[in-house]
Amino acid sequence: MAAIAENLESSLPVPSVQELVSQQLHTVPLRYIRDEIISSSSHDDHSPSVPLIDMAKLFHHDSQASELQKLHSACKDWGLFLLINHGVSDATLGNIKKQTQEFFELPLEEKKLWAQKPGTLEGYGQAFVTSEEQKLDWNDMIFLKALPIQNRKLEFWPEKPQKFRETVQNYSEDIRQLAVSITKFMAMGLGLNDQAQEFSQGFQEGTYDVRFNCYPPCPQPDRVIGMIPHADMSGITLLLDATDVPGLQVLKDGQWIFVEPIDGAIVVNIGQIIEIMSNRIYKAPDHRAVVNKLKERFSVVTFCYPNPSVKIGPASELTQSGSPPLYKTVTLAEYFQSFYNRKLEVSFIDCLKI
């Protein structure tokens, strides 16, 4: 890997993993072998279960206090939870799953019509590949800026499958409403009063980027990684498993725990913006994706950011009671600049610590 990435906002072209798999490989090309970061993961009856939060209970007066306490504990102890009764319709979820699978089933030449271009991460390809020697993740993806509408670059938005654009439009609008609601409850969980509205309203006019992932089956699944361990730089990340194949893992007390897909549930993952705004009461967890020997896995991941006018820093209500701020306060533009213009191996959030 190059010692420094001058800018992580673009990525070098790499082979399609789906295409590699279609060649009936028995061994994995050397560039994907990641023995150094594969460690045992927990997938047994003794592992702790990822918290399950019922949004309907958060809205209901009689159950709100107890469910809010569950939410607060999940954000504090895990940084990630499964959300049910979230208000995004089964039809919307079904449509986005279907369109995701149908896009990745297109012939390679058709997918390449929407390929990334130099200087951007948008489009079909791979993210954050900064050198020809860099090890690669076992996935293909397409990344699109969905909201606000003026951020869209339709040159990267597939016209096939036929209803792809319309489906992404509808899904991102519903996800935005979910992000506003769930961040409001997070603010309540933190005990914010004056700033609770500001905390969540920032997401009403926020930025929403969607990444569609395909993790093809792999002949040597224990020697590759679908996505390397990382914490998200978003406010929150909302992930929808488009298949019932487990692949997402979260690091909890030094152990990798599978986030088992639940039909209709959405995974809510705390990003580093909320970690900073909560003054590290809520933590952005390390998570990764592993792959399966026989089955393909698809996921739809929406990165939710607040409005560019929102200052990224510890909420003043949390620092007035004697807890010193742990992070600097920066603009969203400065926050992005810190992320993209850094050494890839440096922990991004450490750059913002006081």
In a domain, 1, yes or no: no
Q: What is the pLDDT along the chain (354 residues), one digit of tens a residue?
A: 233 334 455 567 788 999 989 988 788 998 999 887 765 554 555 678 999 999 999 999 999 999 999 999 999 999 999 999 999 999 999 999 999 999 999 999 999 999 998 878 899 988 777 677 788 999 999 999 999 999 999 999 999 999 999 999 999 999 999 999 999 999 999 999 878 888 888 999 999 999 999 999 999 999 999 999 999 999 999 999 999 999 999 999 999 999 999 999 999 999 999 999 999 999 999 999 999 999 999 999 999 999 999 999 999 999 987 789 999 999 999 998 888 776 666 677 888 898
Residue pair 95/170 in contact (Cβ under 8 Å)? The answer is yes
Element (H, E) at 182: helix 164-189
* Structural domain that includes position 243: 17-352
- At 4 the pLDDT is 34
Query: Strand locations in 184-343, DSSP E?
Result: 207-215, 227-230, 236-241, 248-252, 255-258, 266-270, 287-289, 297-305
In a domain, 69, yes or no: yes
Residue pair 140/124 in contact (Cβ under 8 Å)? The answer is yes
What tokens were used for 19?
A: 């295409």
In a domain, 107, yes or no: yes
- At 41 the pLDDT is 53
Confidence (pTM): 0.93
- Looking at the structure of the chain, the number of domains it has is 1
In a domain, 252, yes or no: yes
Q: Which CATH number fits the domain that encloses residue 153?
A: 2.60.120.330
d(CA 146, CA 307): 14
In a domain, 5, yes or no: no
- At 45 the pLDDT is 56
In a domain, 174, yes or no: yes
In a domain, 346, yes or no: yes
In a domain, 320, yes or no: yes
- At 3 the pLDDT is 32
- At 43 the pLDDT is 54
- At 44 the pLDDT is 56
Q: How many residues does the chain have?
A: 354
